[in-house]
Amino acid sequence: MVAQSGGPTAIDTRYPVETPDGIELALHPAGPVPRALAWLIDLLIRGGIMIALGMVLSLLGAAGMALLVLAWFVINWWYPVLFEVLSGGATPGKKAFGLRVLHEDGTPVGWGPSVVRNLLRQVDFLPAAYAAGLVSMLCNRRFQRLGDLAAGTLVVYNATSTNASGDGGDLAPGRVEAPPLPLSPDEQQVILSFAERSGKLNPERAGELASLLSPLTASHGADSAERLLAWARWIKGTAT
Amino acid sequence: MDAELVKLRPRPGAEAIDLGLQLARASWPRLVVVALLAQLPTLLLAALAFAWQPPLALLVVWWLKPSLDRPLLHLLGRELIGERIGLARLLRERQQWWTGLHLASLTVYRLHPSRSFVLPVWLLEGLSGDSRRRRTRALGHGSGSSGAGLGFMSSLFELVIMAGLFALFGWLLPASVWEGLNAPGWIGPGGLADELWAALALAYAVTIILVEPFYVGAGFGLYLNQRCRLECWDLEPALRRLADRATSPSEAVP
């Protein structure tokens, strides 16, 4: 429920894809800020596991140390891959920030690409502290680091979390009235968006916005807003 | 506002930051040139400070960051309304970005957790005193910790880029030069050597030139998003267009 504005080249955080089974999807690639935070959380979790294992395995002497090196190898390399493939595209850190890994076409990430994107962390880490990965993300319309580019993967926000603070709920029942002139689909959408979101606005601002349409509503402020709501109910009624 | 340039709609905070980053990316070459030029006076001051007390150079470079934000934000604001302004025009319009709580931003507000989010309120809305304070508070409503989180993360990204610059420099510099520099001797019992302070200040100044356009852009993205969320700002152009169409003589549906 969003007003359509802007040409196809307009700057947007939404990235439309068509899945192999022909479904149109809007993906929301996630930028470096939530991804770095997610990485930090994963780092803490992995660090915690290693410390706990270290304490237990240190009781076993040399054999324990060998096991610890093995555990480090497994955790370092397979922690992200296993979570990404088996746990809905998200490590615990990514889950905490509502992120997940997908193929560029919107399908869930598979073993091959997940291994590639996580192996190439070594490259993204260069020359130090993930500097190459950060630069790559900021050079890229879809915030892909080098590993993502090589594997053809994206890190996106979960659909549910992107809708959370979107448009407000339903229209309260009330007067229904046809708009005084035929509206294009885009214009209908604007009226609907206004109606759905104006409940959260302060009344003065809602009136101010509605007064922009005074030539059509022949009223001002709150009265004008009331008329827009009536049109929105009519649009909604005719649409379903 | 030109709706053709950016797709505005209410977004979650993290995605608003992403929008700002994309805004900065679209104007990146122009922003980085402005940042580079605006950093030159800072470097001069830092050099003076270095001559007096070497560690002060780094402090000066950090302290004057808010001054760099201003021309960057002004440029971004112009780009948003579809005006691509050159350096001459940026200088001509300096009253619009140089004044407006500049001194306060370097003193009482220097440690403001969400500097780049409040700067658009200060620079672009032309309010003062109580009404500005009320406006800043109102606009921050419901944005959670996005602004402060952005500030924290951009400090982290500054460290990342700085570490990257140092590592890159280490790779590219010929070994003979390294031996001449005697770098291991830079960190001694008496603290850091002057050369290291100079290197740190210079690397930080370069880092700021690279990171600050994105920091300012991301804060601007948060600001625009709050105006969409709290004021339905994104609906305004479409409503205006509809009113225009209704009042124009030929009421053709486009």
Q: What are the extents of the domains in chain A?
A: 15-163, 185-239
A 10 A CB-CB count for B32 gives 16
Which pLDDT does position B252 carry in this prediction?
Answer: 53
Which pLDDT does position B251 carry in this prediction?
Answer: 53
A37 to B159: CB separation less than 8 angstroms, yes or no: no
Judged by a CB distance cut-off of 8 A, whether residue A190 touches chain B is: yes
B19 to A12: CB separation less than 8 angstroms, yes or no: yes
A25: pLDDT strictly greater than 70: yes
Average pLDDT of the segment spanning B129-144 = 83
Burial A93-112 (b: 16+ CB within 10 A, else e): bbbebbbbbbbbebeebeee
Judged by a CB distance cut-off of 8 A, whether residue B1 touches chain A is: no
Which pLDDT does position A8 carry in this prediction?
Answer: 55
State the best of A4, A5, A143, A146 to mutate against chain B, taking most chain B CBs within 10 Å.
Answer: A5
ipTM above 0.85, yes or no: yes
Average pLDDT of the segment spanning B36-56 = 93
Spatial contact of A216 and A232, defined as CB atoms under 8 Å apart? no
Judged by a CB distance cut-off of 8 A, whether residue B235 touches chain A is: yes
Portion 52-91 of B in contact with A at CB < 8 A: none
A127 to B246: CB separation less than 8 angstroms, yes or no: no
A60: pLDDT strictly greater than 80: yes
Domain ranges of chain B: 13-235
Provide the 3-class DSSP secondary structure of residue B249: coil
Spatial contact of B88 and B103, defined as CB atoms under 8 Å apart? no
pLDDT band at B146; cut points 50, 70, 90: confident
For residue B107, give how far its alpha carbon lies from the nearest alpha carbon of chain A (Å). 27
State the best of B79, B239, B241, B247 to mutate against chain A, taking most chain A CBs within 10 Å.
Answer: B239
Q: Using CA atoms, how far apart are residues B58 and A17, in angstroms rounded to an integer? A: 46
Q: If you ran DSSP here, which 8-state letter would residue A172 be given?
A: P
Which pLDDT does position B83 carry in this prediction?
Answer: 85
Q: If residue A24 lies in a helix (H) or strand (E), which one and from where to where?
A: strand A24-27
Minimum CA–CA partner of A132 in chain B: B164
pLDDT band at A3; cut points 50, 70, 90: very low
A2: pLDDT strictly greater than 50: no
Helix B194-231 vs helix B54-63: angle between axes, to the nearest 10 degrees? Answer: 10
Which residues 6+ apart lie within 8 Å of A21 measured at CB? none
A11 to B7: CB separation less than 8 angstroms, yes or no: yes
Spatial contact of B62 and B212, defined as CB atoms under 8 Å apart? no
Average pLDDT of the segment spanning B1-16 = 79
B156: chain A residues, CB-CB within 8 Å:
36
Of A6, A127, A166, the CB nearest to B167: A127
A205 to B231: CB separation less than 8 angstroms, yes or no: yes
Q: Using CA atoms, how far apart are residues A70 and B120, in angstroms rounded to an integer? A: 52
Average pLDDT of the segment spanning B24-42 = 94
Spatial contact of A145 and A154, defined as CB atoms under 8 Å apart? no
For residue A221, give how far its alpha carbon lies from the nearest alpha carbon of chain B (Å). 14
Judged by a CB distance cut-off of 8 A, whether residue A149 touches chain B is: no
Query: Which ranges of A89-220 does DSSP label H, i.e. alpha helix?
Result: 92-96, 111-119, 121-125, 131-138, 146-151, 159-163, 185-198, 203-211, 214-217
B119: pLDDT strictly greater than 60: yes
Judged by a CB distance cut-off of 8 A, whether residue B211 touches chain A is: no
Higher pLDDT, B204 or A235: B204
Question: Nearest Cα to B97, choosing from B127, B119, B130?
Answer: B119
pLDDT per position as a tens digit, B166-191: 899 888 887 777 777 777 777 777 77
Judged by a CB distance cut-off of 8 A, whether residue A132 touches chain B is: yes
Portion 131-160 of B in contact with A at CB < 8 A: 149-150, 153, 156-157, 159-160
Which pLDDT does position B249 carry in this prediction?
Answer: 63
Q: Using CA atoms, how far apart are residues B135 and B128, in angstroms rounded to an integer? A: 10
pLDDT band at A4; cut points 50, 70, 90: very low
Which pLDDT does position A168 carry in this prediction?
Answer: 47
Mean pLDDT of chain B: 87
Average pLDDT of the segment spanning B3-10 = 80
Of B5, B12, B167, the CB nearest to A161: B12
